[in-house]
Amino acid sequence: MTTHLPRIIHLATTDADFCAELQAAPQVALAERGLEANADELAALVELRSLIAIPPQKLATLLAIVPTRIWQAVAPIPAPAA
């Protein structure tokens, strides 16, 4: 795993300008600060961009609620054909 992903997330959490740049143009934002992300990490950052903008405490509250809600909404896996 990369050593940059923790730094990228921490910077996005604590620096509003970087957070906005990361959402608008992730590759540019990372390059400007000398940070690197592999293809999967970049894809993850892009998919998570709306959540990155949510203040950490609010996101934590959302996550504390979500598990039960989603478990209840998912149908059981059907039987595999033997």
CB closer to other proteins out of 17 and 40: 40
Q: Select 28 or 38, whichever has its Cβ closest to other proteins.
A: 38
Contact call for residues 63 and 40 (beta carbons, < 8 A): no
Which of 5, 81, 3 is CA-nearest to residue 42?
A: 5
C-alpha pair distances (Å), 74 with each of 12, 38, 67, 70: 32, 31, 11, 6
- Least separation in angstroms between residue 8's CB and other proteins is 8
Which residues contact other proteins (rule: CB under 8 A)?
A: 1, 3, 5-7, 9-10, 12-14, 40-41, 43-45, 47-48, 50-52, 54, 56-67, 69-71, 74, 76-82
